[in-house]
Amino acid sequence: MKKTTVMTAVLCAAALIVTVCGVFLLVSLSAYSGAGEINGWDMMFMMPGSALSVAAAALLLTDCACIALAAVLIVSYIRTGRALKNNVEKKPERFSRLMKIDREGVSGKTAYNDRTDLSSFCDGFRDFAAADMGLYYDKSVIRSYVAGMACTHLIILQGISGTGKTSLPFAFGKYVCRDAAVTPVQPGWKDRSDLLGYYNEFTDSYTETELLCKLYEADLCDDVFTVVLDEMNIARVEYYFAEFLSLLELPDGPDRRVRVTADSRDNDPALFENGDLRLSDNVWFVGTANNDDSTLAISDKVYDRAFVIELNGRCRPFTANGSGRSHVSASRLKEMFREATLNNPMSERIRVIFEQTDAYLTEHFGISAGNRVIRQAERFIPVFTACGGTEDEAADILICRKILRRLENINPVYCRDGADGLIRFLNGVFGGYAPENSVNYVRRFKAVN
């Protein structure tokens, strides 16, 4: 661009000089007299008239050549300027991976197999994990996992290492024909950019994470998507996952949008709206949590919004017949959840157990279940029952994971002193059913010195 400007200026100056010289020669020729008189111009050039004619013609041709070259360079200059202007106005794509999804669509889309029920779905998943992947889980764990999906979009699998916490959602992704997106959490994570990526000003592009791509794909189809936050408590969950915790509390709709960029462009991905992406209702987050010195405590804010499953032991291997995968759609899965809630509502007896347990814990330990736990119970217990379990077992699991867990915020010595009374109460309120999960949880406080 600079070279073109300089060359144009030089040629224009040369053409001007040649033009001036030509004018002088033409004036000299016009002033030459046939009488042989010598005028001022002849004295200046000291050249005969014929030589001056040749010089004038040469200068005229040179002048025309300079003007022609200058015109060519000016046209080239204008075209180059327009091309650069167009390049500036047409910015490059910031989201290369998301734009590729827009062009090619979602991979792996096949017909859904929605002719199933929750009991068959759970049994098929358990057999598939055992026969095809060599992973063995108790029926109660499988039922809790599926029923947990009915009451929240955040499930936490916690326990000792090596019990299959990460393998469970990974196998579930294989079973529903949509591989889970495993995202290893890093200790330095603090905000949503660690999950979704960040904008690079130097390259004018966005560094897209696998999680962002999965969230984008989820908004384009009806598959069941699973996002695994591996070792989620190695960083502060309420920091990097804060925006998602708030969005997951909202009903599915246009308000469930996560901010990706601060501005918007015409060539941004098709599903973006003012830099926001809708958080679709067919995405479930599954966090794995270890309890050791390298991890941080998970706050009550996170626990209240999640469903917690304890994996503290291995299931004994069993013989399973591979039943194959079940490519169920998210719509059908949520429909089965609604059907279970309508057809098997929580009984009044179980509701009384929750009310009495809440009253006992409030009186003796100063803790309360809260309205969120009751709402989750109204969805979890019917679905757990439809998966093949019983109401008493579902209530026992929910009381253990959602209510008794609050005892950890109290002085352990005080909990130890009240443990026997709490165990007697739990056995009595459930009647003929032995609430093993709740009783075993309370017994751990008796070992406190």
Q: What is the pLDDT at residue 319? A: 84
Residue extents of the structural domains in the chain: 2-89, 94-327, 344-449
Closest CA to 286 of 325, 351, 329, 232: 232
Please tell me the distance from the alpha carbon of residue 353 to that of residue 347, in angstroms, as a whole number.
10
What's the average pLDDT block by block, 10 residues per block, for the chain (449 residues)?
59 62 56 48 51 63 65 65 52 85 80 88 94 92 96 92 89 95 93 90 89 94 95 93 90 82 88 91 94 82 92 83 86 96 93 93 89 91 96 95 90 91 94 91 86
Task: Using the CB atoms, write b or e for 122-134: b if 16+ within 10 Å.
Answer: bbbbbbbbbebee
| Cut 0.85: pTM above it | no
Residue 70: HSE in the Cβ half-sphere, 13 Å Cα cutoff? 16
Alpha-carbon distances of 166 from 146, 149, 290, 390, 405, rounded to whole Å: 16, 16, 11, 27, 22
Helices 210-218, 96-104: axis angle to 10 degrees equals 30
**Smallest Cα–Cα separation from 327: which of 148, 130, 116, 143?**
116
Under CATH, what is the fold of the domain 94-327?
A: Rossmann fold (3.40.50)
Res 81: pLDDT: 61
b/e per residue 59-70 (b: at least 16 CB within 10 A)? bbebbeebbebb
User: What pLDDT is attached to residue 404?
Assistant: 93
Distance, CA of 54 to CA of 195 (rounded, Å): 80
- In the structure encoding, which two tokens stand for residue 135, read together? 């992973």
Q: What is the DSSP string of 142-178?
A: HHHHHHHHHH-SEEEEESSTTSSTTHHHHHHHHHTTS
Q: DSSP assignment, residue 204?
A: T
